[in-house]
Amino acid sequence: MLNKRKVVLVVNSRKLKILAAVVDEYIRTGEPVGSKAISELYNINVSAATIRNDMAALEQLGYLEQPHTSAGRIPTFAGYRLYIDELMNPSALSDEEKQRLDRMLGDKDTPEELLIQNAAAALTEITQCAAVVTNSAPRFSVISKVEVIPTGKRLYVILLITSNGSIKNKACRLEFDLDNEQLEFFTRYIEENLSGVSVDELSEEMFDKMVAAVSAYMVSLSPLVMGLCELSEDLRQQELTVSGSEKLLSCSELDKMEVVKFIEHKNGLSDLLEDTFSGIQVKFGSENNFAIGNSSLIVSKYRKGGKEAGSLGIIGPMRVDYKKIIPYIEYLTQQISCLMSGNDDDIIITDTTDGIIPKS
């Protein structure tokens, strides 16, 4: 073991100040930060040599690392983590900034779907990173209408509409054509059994029971129930939209291959966003099994009427300006929560599925 060195391995306030300075400076320039730069640019009133000693300690403590001997330091994951959780002081949004965001977001008449799209667009523009939004509203809504529409020989389209305005459809093929009476029976049956039911409550078992019930009347109706089951599954899973992902391609610190793969498949993202948490959350790509290596995911949940209704955030390089971006995201989620909860009555968003049925 070389590199054994007499440094005081105690974090004190100066060391923290230095760590913060290193992270700030690294975020600003993207270059490894040396002791001299810190002593000159940040008013920690000690000499470069002292800072060097502290930096050596911070390195041994696992907060900083050197790309190579005799280069400056860059933050480690732990360094970023400490910085984000404890050290940085977020820059409060100015009134102009808030107004700008409000304008970009929309007002209480803006449909929910558009609201979160606007938020994503705003984030993309301001941060120059990819924005990501999820909407789990459909999951917490109730079925407001079910329709079965004959569209061809033995061919029916089922339509499922929820209270929050999602519309899903799916084509189903039956073995036989239904006559009016049969169709009416089925429509009435599902209307009675599904109308007003919360999407979250729908389960496969429930549909299994319906298949049984309906089959008693007419066996060949079951594909319709199965179709409904699949639609309800679509509703249950949260929608995830990533916008501005091309911005990630111009981040030199991200691997282009990984970014492109991410753009195509969005690997691992929805898992990361399904966790429940409160406040803002910062996750690093390399620490979760997320497609892009040195990336950072900053997200916050918005709420509707007290309930989590989705999340909103950005994906960028680890080296993003956290102290600026975090307040932006916080403000946006807060405003969205506010706008959404304000008027709960009759928002309509169309929102649809793709589905495919086998030919035979």
Q: Is position 289 an interface residue for a copy of itself (rule: CB under 8 A)? A: no
Strand ranges for 163-306 from DSSP E:
167-173, 239-243, 280-284, 295-304
Instruction: Figure out which of the listed residues 49, 92, 212, 249 binds DNA, where binding follows CB under 7 A.
Output: 49
Q: How far is the CB of 202 from a copy of itself (least distance, A)?
A: 19
Nearer to a copy of itself, 16 or 167 (CB): 167
Q: How far is the CB of 249 from a copy of itself (least distance, A)?
A: 5
Cα-flanking dihedrals φ and ψ of residue 93, to 5°?
Answer: -75, 140
Instruction: Figure out which of the listed residues 28, 41, 62, 71 binds DNA, where binding follows CB under 7 A.
Output: 71
The end-to-end CA distance of the chain, in Å, is 70
Cα-flanking dihedrals φ and ψ of residue 122, to 5°?
Answer: -60, -45
Nearer to a copy of itself, 188 or 209 (CB): 188
Q: What is the total count of residues that contact a copy of itself (CB under 8 A)?
A: 51
Give me 112's structure tokens. 């929910």
Q: Is position 98 an interface residue for DNA (rule: CB under 7 A)? A: no
Rounded Cα–Cα distance for residues 253 and 178 (Å): 60
- Cβ-Cβ contacts under 8 Å for 109 (sequence gap 6 or more): none
Give me 320's structure tokens. 């993003």
Q: Is position 261 an interface residue for a copy of itself (rule: CB under 8 A)? A: yes
Q: What is the DSSP letter of 72?
A: -
Rounded Cα–Cα distance for residues 291 and 260 (Å): 10
Q: How far is the CB of 284 from DNA (least distance, A)?
A: 23
Maximum CA extent, the chain:
90
**What are the distances in angstroms from CA 293 to CA 25, 224, 255, 257, 258?**
22, 44, 7, 10, 7
Q: Is position 8 an interface residue for DNA (rule: CB under 7 A)? A: yes
Q: Is position 3 an interface residue for DNA (rule: CB under 7 A)? A: yes
Q: Which stretch binds a copy of itself (CB under 8 A): 41-49, 197-205, 257-265, 316-324?
A: 257-265
Closest residue by Cα to residue 78 from 90, 91, 88, 65:
65
Instruction: Figure out which of the listed residues 97, 147, 191, 233 binds a copy of itself, where binding follows CB under 8 A.
Output: 147
Sheet holding 280-284, edge to edge: 239-243, 130-135, 307-317, 295-304, 280-284
Q: Is position 5 an interface residue for DNA (rule: CB under 7 A)? A: yes
308-347 residues in contact with a copy of itself (CB under 8 A) are 343, 346-347
Q: Is position 58 an interface residue for DNA (rule: CB under 7 A)? A: no
Nearer to DNA, 69 or 94 (CB): 69
- Cβ-Cβ contacts under 8 Å for 346 (sequence gap 6 or more): none
153-212 residues in contact with a copy of itself (CB under 8 A) are 153, 155, 157, 159, 161, 165, 167, 169-171, 173
Q: Is position 356 an interface residue for a copy of itself (rule: CB under 8 A)? A: yes
Closest residue by Cα to residue 285 from 314, 265, 310, 306:
314
Binding positions for a copy of itself, rule: CB under 8 A:
108-111, 113-114, 144-145, 147, 149, 151-153, 155, 157, 159, 161, 165, 167, 169-171, 173, 243-246, 249-250, 256-257, 260-261, 263-264, 343, 346-360
Binding positions for DNA, rule: CB under 7 A:
3, 5, 8, 14, 31-37, 45-50, 52-53, 55-56, 59, 66, 68-73
